[in-house]
Structure 1
Amino acid sequence: MERNLTLIALFAALIAALGLIPAFSLGFGVPITAQTLAIMLCGTVLGAKRGTLAVLLFLLLVAVGLPLLAGGRGGLGVFAGPTAGFLFGWPVAAFVTGLIVERWRSANLTVVAIIASIIGGIIVLYAFGIVGMSIVLDRTLVEATALVTAFIPGDVAKAIVAGILTAALYKARPQSVLSRTDQA
């Protein structure tokens, strides 16, 4: 139990730390950040439940006003802005990513983690982000979808990095990748 709490807090801190990397803001208010890499890693390393809890802890800290999002943003207002859909999608993305890695044990971990990160950390997350942008920016779903295409190359690169890092951690310390242990 204590180890789980420590890892959940550590991965919430990882999300915050990746927010320190300067964001590249796009004209429609949604920045390109490194934080989605941490969301993918929450799922691939911690698994579905613990990964989701790490993201929820991070979002709670943001909600109480800590400036942990890229660009030093925080507070309840971010949950009503153009990024709101992505923020609400983060816990679901971590859960789906983790669930895939937990259940799909027959293939190479690098490949599984990359595919899980693409499905959970890109496809699922974009679904939330597109709906949120459509509502907040008063755009059609097609227009909002066109806006997020700018994220695809970077997010695919992040999914590859997440897969490589997860497999490297598993090779070095198998018991640290909870998505692949019996504790998942």
Structure 2
Amino acid sequence: MTTRDIVLVALFAAIMVVLGLLPPITLGFIPVSITAQSLGPMLAGCILGARRGAAAMLLVLLLVAIGLPVLSGGRGGLAVFVGPSAGYIFGWVVGAFVCGLIAQRLVKEDQSELSQFLSFLLASVVGGIGIVYLFGMPWLAYMSGKAFFETAAASLVFLPGDLIKAFVAMLAARAVLAGYPLLPQRA
């Protein structure tokens, strides 16, 4: 990694921390809150690419592990990694990687704006929602002692907000690509 890559990884880790400053919305029927931080893997993957996006999420996990209160609601420390939201948190790393991988493969500078928008949206939905849910829901089902399908049905409450976040990530990634393209400079 170059110095520029390290700075970009740190910048997106800082963006995740800032997203964590927004208070979580707790729900009574599921032990995982709605947070703005699920936007972070989508942004990091679509803007930075697979490796740098995943590295930014790993940096956030490192900050959590050393006890800094960087997660939504001021949470931090090793206990977070065994709580009900741990699957989603670990899913951020893989989700950012998959978002970046899809964006790197599909988004080209010479294609139409509509194609770029749709490619970024697909990357955000598959990586930022699908992969994160794939990690989060089984762990949540295990931790809550409920059946997987019951947990999956309860997790549908996150979907509308996450689709809005995917749309925001799409807009941001396209704007960065147009103004200061980071994605084509794969790292």
How does the TM-score come out when normalised to structure 1?
0.94
Q: Counterpart of 2:52 in structure 1: which amino acid?
A: R
Gaps of 5+ in 2: none
Equivalent-residue separation in structure 1 for 2:166 and 2:107 (angstroms): 18
Are 2:49 and 2:186, in contact at CA under 8 Å, matched by a contact in 1? no
Equivalent-residue separation in structure 2 for 1:154 and 1:66 (angstroms): 26
In the other structure, the counterpart of 1:147 is 154
In the other structure, the counterpart of 1:156 is 163
Establish whether residue 183 from structure 1 lines up as the match of residue 181 from structure 2: no
TM superposition shift of 1:151 = 0.2
- Structure 1 residues 107-126: aligned runs within 5 Å: 108-126=115-133
- Structure 1 residues 31-180: aligned runs within 5 Å: 31-105=33-107, 108-174=115-181, 177=182, 179=183
Q: Counterpart of 1:79 in structure 2: which amino acid?
A: F
Equivalent-residue separation in structure 2 for 1:25 and 1:113 (angstroms): 29
TM superposition shift of 1:182 = 3.9
Match of 2:31, SS? coil
TM superposition shift of 1:183 = 2.8
Equivalent-residue separation in structure 2 for 1:170 and 1:89 (angstroms): 25
Q: Percent identity of the aligned residues?
A: 46
Are 2:54 and 2:94, in contact at CA under 8 Å, matched by a contact in 1? yes
How does the TM-score come out when normalised to structure 2?
0.93
Equivalent-residue separation in structure 2 for 1:142 and 1:29 (angstroms): 16
Aligned-pair RMSD on alpha carbons? 1.1
Deviations 1:44-95 (A, max 9, x none): 0010000000000000100111001000001011111110110111100000
Equivalent-residue separation in structure 2 for 1:59 and 1:29 (angstroms): 20
Q: Counterpart of 1:9 in structure 2: which amino acid?
A: A
TM superposition shift of 1:109 = 1.8
Equivalent-residue separation in structure 2 for 1:17 and 1:182 (angstroms): 26
Q: Counterpart of 2:118 in structure 1: which amino acid?
A: V
In the other structure, the counterpart of 2:22 is 21
Number of residue pairs matched?
180
